[in-house]
Each structure stands twice: as structure tokens, then as C-alpha cells.
Amino acid sequence: MIRRLVLWLDDRLGAASFARKALRKAFPDHWAFMLGEVALYCYIVLVLTGVFLTFFFTPSGQDVVYTGPYAPLRGARMSAAYASMLVLSFEVRAGLVMRQIHHWAANVFVAAIAAHAMRIFFTGAFRRPREINWIIGTCLLLLAMAAGFTGYSLPDDLLSGTGIRIAYSVLLSVPVIGTWAAYLFFGGEFPGPGTIQRFLSLHIMILQALIVGALSLHLIIVWHQKHTQFRAPGRTEDTVTGSPLFPNYTLKSIGLMFAVFAVLAFLGGMVQINPIWLYGPYDPTTVSAPAQPDWYVGWLEGLLRLFPNWQINLWVVQIPEPFFPGVLIPALLFLIYALWPFIEQAATGDRSVHHFLDRARDAPARSGFGVAGVAFMALLTLAGSNDILAHVFGVPVEWITEILRGAVIVVPVVFGWATYALCRELKKQQEEPKPLWHALRRGATGGYAEDERR
């Protein structure tokens, strides 16, 4: 039966010769290489659950009165978008679990991308010829964050609406064009009439098209260039060793897919996420504490909280405060991040092809900068929850802010330098192993001589 199928398809597509080579393609199966796959499978969950959600979501800011089963909101005025999410959560069978799986998948998706990106960085997998894929990967990270932000803003609840308000202000703060940009993007003064509708368009259509396109390119390039691998006896720069695609790697990969689905399903049912009914519908005149965005926007929030109240003028006009922490610094950070392969090439002068991966110790400077970068982003994310830290530790939030203002500069430098020194030391240890112990021999004339033993 399989023979008949293969012949039928090959007569029309001529794919047998390609498939023959493809099915035997080597896939290195080190566990750290699967982080990208974890992200990919999270994305599949997002698409599947997302399609379900689109059948129930009403992307309208129009005022309606709620008449559903959730008693504390009965009779309350809210947007049709928010009301539709209440219906989905309380009245649609499996609606709540689908919504929660979708939201957990989004959080884990960006976490997996971040972990994958860190693995690529610290193993130097972005070096020639993979610079293009690094840039595509940076775009995917940004697209994922944007998709997440637009996505969790769709229910138009009090918490996410506050986030949209801040985004509007950040857009407004751009010099010269900010006011126009905000008015055009949002359709007027905040909250604009079509904000939720535009966010939906972005979230399910524009950003998804970009993600699918970039992701396909990303995978095609990996396939074409073949995967990198760690050094090991028997491996060379000109070969790549791994499991054959079919059946070994396929089976493992599909198994991983189900595992990702299983973890997200568990979280989706067992751990509540984004209880919009408690936050209430968005009202631009009220707010609830604590107010944080989803974790992957936390670093931006931290920048906005930590940035001092400096009045920075361009001639006579003051540049609005959110511009520096909200636009300029993030742009610089991501520019450095995106161009890192070229920065490293310029700094080291190493423009040769690399298919072998480094261990962290093999590139002490890169590892140092990497750890400093991760520490910087982690501290900023921490700063984004400074009021929660104040509440937990019983310390005034002003102290947390002041301490983090200094820490955000000092700690990355210290951690980065310590990592650099540690990597250098480890590298030196391997190249010039120190003797394990020294033996002292007493000579006949009474002196001592040393023996070095390993």
C-alpha cells in the first residue's frame, strides 16, 4: 500500500529522490538543540488554541451590559470584547481551559525562545555562516513579544488596558512624530475607538504572517546549512553526525511535541492565569495594584520604573520622559543584540566558517558579555515588579527602586567580569593542567626536592 502511495506521488511530484536523501539526513540530538523545537511546538499550540478563541472573541469596544452567570459583574457596563471573553470563560464548554492553555503557551513560548537564544549565543552558533539566521531569530523574538502583548491586551480587562495606556504614552513620547503616530495608530485620543479591533488584526493576521514567514525561513536555513554540533572524537568541521531524520529523529521530535502539549495542557487546567473577571473591565479612570505586564515585557516596565526623573531637553522642548526608557534604550539593546555576530567578528577578527560549537569557557569574553546581558535583563525584569518585592520583603518600594538603579549597572559588570575570569581560568586549566599534587623528597644531604605528579 505504501509502495502504491509513493509511486502515485512520485509520478506527480518527483519527490522520491529528495525524500530519500532527506529521510536519512543527520540530526544532532544533543538535548540543548531541542530548545528551539520546544518553542516551535509552543507556537503550534498557540495557533491551534488561538483558532478556537477566534470563534468566540468579539473585537469590539462597544459598550454592552453583562447578563451572564458571573454574579459580581452582572449588570456592569463593559466592552463587547471583554463580555465575549467572560462568555468564553464561564459559558463555553472547554472555553476556559482553551484560553488558559493559550496564555500559558504564550508565556512558555517566549521563555523557550529566550532559552534557545541563550544556547545559540553561549555556544557561538551564530558565527558564520549563520549570521542571517541569528537576525531572523532576533526578529522572531521581537515578533513573539509583540504577538504576546497584542494578544493579552485583547480581552480589554483593567490590567491589560493599563498596559495599552502605557504603550500609547510611549508612542506619544517619540519626538516630532509621536503625537501623530499615536493618533493614527490608535485612532485618536486614548482609548481610541478601534484599538481592540486593530490589535486583533495585528495579533491574528499581520504578526502571525510575519512569524510564519520568518519561522519558515529560519527552519529552511537550518536545514540547508545543516545543524552545528559540539566537538567530540571522530567529528570534524566538514561532517555532521546525528540521528537519521526518519524514523529516529521524527519519533523523538513528535514525542517532544506531545510532551510540550502535555505540559501546557496541565498548566492550562491546573494553574489559573489572567483571571480577567477579578480585574474587571477596562476603565481608564481606575487601576488596581500591582500592575505588571506579562513577564517578557517586564524588562520594559522595569526600565520605565527605574529611569530617573531627568528633564532632558532638545533645544527648548522637553523630550517626554518615557522616550528614553521606552524607545531609545530598548532600540539600542536590540540593535546590539541583533548585530552581535558582526560585533564579535569585528572585535575578534575571526570571520571564518564555524560548524563546531564552543563551550562557554572557549570564548570567555563572549560568555562574560552574555552573562552581563542576561543579568541586566533579569534585573530589569525584577525592577518591573519592585512593588511586589517591596510587599514581600517589607521594604519601602523607594529603596528597592534606588537599589536596583545602582544594581542594574554594577551587577552585570561584576557578573560579566566574574564569568570572564572563570572561563579564562577553566580554559587555562585545560590547556595547561596544573599538577594535582607535589611530592617532597628528602635528599641525602638534608635538603628537599619537589616531584610533580599528576
Partner 1 sequence: MSPAERRVAAALTVSILGSAGLGVVYALGGQAQLEGVLLSIALGGLAAGLAAWALGLLPPEQVTDRREPQSSRPEDRIAITSELERGKEDLTSRRTLARLLLGALATFGAVMFFPIRSLGPAPGRSMFHTKWTAGAYVVDSLGRRVRAGEMSTQSVITVFPEGDLGSAVSQALLIRVDPTLLRLPPSRMDWAPYGYVAYSKFCTHAGCPVGLYRAAAHQLLCPCHQSTFDVLDGARPIFGPTTRALPQLPLRVDSDGYLRAAGDFSAPVGPGFWELPPS
Partner 2 sequence: MKRWAGVAIGAGILAVGAVPWPAFGQVSPPAAPPMGTYAGPAPATPAGDVHRGYNLYAVHCASCHGLAAEGTKDGIPLVGIGAGTLDFVLRTGRMPLTDPQQPMYRRPSNWTPQQIADVVAYVASLGPGGPEVPTVDPARGDLAHGRGVFAANCAACHGAAGQGAAVGEGAEAPALYQASELEIAEAVRVGPDPMPRFDAGIIRQYDLDSLVKYVVWLRHPPDPGGFNIGHVGPVAEGFVAWVVGMGALTLVIRAIGTKD
Q: Return the residues of window 364-403 that contact partner 1 according to CB under 8 A.
A: 386-387, 397-398, 401
SS3 annotation, 65-125: ECCCCCHHHCCCEEEHHHHHHHHHHHCCCCHHHHHHHHHHHHHHHHHHHHHHHHHHHHCCC
CA 214 to chain centre: 15
Secondary structure (3-state) at 322: coil
Q: What is the DSSP letter of 63?
A: E
Q: Whole-number minimum distance, CB 153 to partner 2, in Å?
A: 12
Q: Out of 54, 62, 67, 179, name the contact with partner 1 by CB under 8 A.
A: 179
* 226 vs 252, beta carbon nearer partner 2: 252
* 261 vs 342, beta carbon nearer partner 1: 261
Q: Whole-number minimum distance, CB 224 to partner 1, in Å?
A: 9
Yes or no: say if 255 and 261 are a contact pair by the CB < 8 Å rule: no
Where b means 16+ CB within 10 Å and e means fewer, 109-118 reads bbbbbbbbbb
State yes or no: residue 320 binds partner 1 (CB under 8 A).
yes
State yes or no: residue 261 binds partner 1 (CB under 8 A).
yes
Q: Measure the CA–CA gap between 357 and 230, rounded to whole angstroms.
A: 5
State yes or no: residue 264 binds partner 2 (CB under 8 A).
yes
Contact set for partner 2, span 364-403 (CB under 8 A) = 381, 384-385, 387-388, 390-392, 394-398
Yes or no: say if 302 and 379 are a contact pair by the CB < 8 Å rule: yes
Q: Whole-number minimum distance, CB 444 to partner 2, in Å?
A: 51
> Are β-strands 63-65 and 77-79 bridged in parallel, bridged antiparallel, or unpaired?
antiparallel
Q: Measure the CA–CA gap between 207 and 257, rounded to whole angstroms.
A: 23
What string marks each residue from 218 to 257 as x (binds partner 1 by CB under 8 A) or -? -------xx----------xxxxxxxx--xx--xx-xxxx
Q: Which of 189, 191, 209, 193 is nearest to 201 (CA)?
A: 209
State yes or no: residue 49 binds partner 1 (CB under 8 A).
no
Within 285-421, strands assigned E span 313-314, 317-318
Q: Which CA distances in Å does 336 have to 171, 269, 372?
A: 22, 39, 13
Contact set for partner 2, span 68-107 (CB under 8 A) = 71-76, 89-90, 96, 100, 104, 107
Q: Which of 2, 35, 17, 22 is nearest to 253 (CA)?
A: 35
Cell triple for residue 12?
506527480
Candidates 13-21, 52-60, 123-131, 280-288: pick the segment binding partner 2 (CB under 8 A). 280-288
Please classify residue 61 by burial: count the beta carbons closer than 10 Å to its beta carbon, then call 0-12 exposed, 13-18 middle and 19+ buried. buried
State yes or no: residue 131 binds partner 2 (CB under 8 A).
no
Give which of partner 2, partner 1, none residue 348 binds (C-beta under 5 to 8 Å, depending on kind). none
Q: Out of 32, 291, 333, 365, name the contact with partner 1 by CB under 8 A.
A: 291
Give which of partner 1, partner 2, none residue 353 binds (C-beta under 5 to 8 Å, depending on kind). partner 1
* 87 vs 135, beta carbon nearer partner 2: 87
* 72 vs 308, beta carbon nearer partner 1: 308
State yes or no: residue 44 binds partner 1 (CB under 8 A).
no
**Neighbouring residues of 325: CB distance < 8 A, sequence distance ≥ 6:** 300, 303, 304, 306, 307
Give which of partner 2, partner 1, none residue 321 binds (C-beta under 5 to 8 Å, depending on kind). partner 1
Q: Out of 176, 289, 440, 444, name the contact with partner 2 by CB under 8 A.
A: 289
Give which of partner 2, partner 1, none residue 31 binds (C-beta under 5 to 8 Å, depending on kind). partner 2
H or E element in which residue 442 lies: strand 437-442
Q: Out of 10, 26, 30, 165, name the contact with partner 2 by CB under 8 A.
A: 30
* 288 vs 430, beta carbon nearer partner 1: 288
Q: Measure the CA–CA gap between 257 and 48, rounded to whole angstroms.
A: 13
Cell triple for residue 2?
505504501
Q: What is the DSSP letter of 235?
A: -
Candidates 105-113, 182-190, 422-430, 444-452: pick the segment binding partner 1 (CB under 8 A). 182-190
Cell triple for residue 369?
558579555
State yes or no: residue 318 binds partner 1 (CB under 8 A).
yes
Candidates 14-22, 54-62, 285-293, 431-439: pick the segment binding partner 2 (CB under 8 A). 285-293
Q: Whole-number minimum distance, CB 317 to partner 1, in Å?
A: 6
Give which of partner 1, partner 2, none residue 372 binds (C-beta under 5 to 8 Å, depending on kind). none
State yes or no: residue 417 binds partner 2 (CB under 8 A).
no
Give which of partner 1, partner 2, none residue 90 binds (C-beta under 5 to 8 Å, depending on kind). partner 2
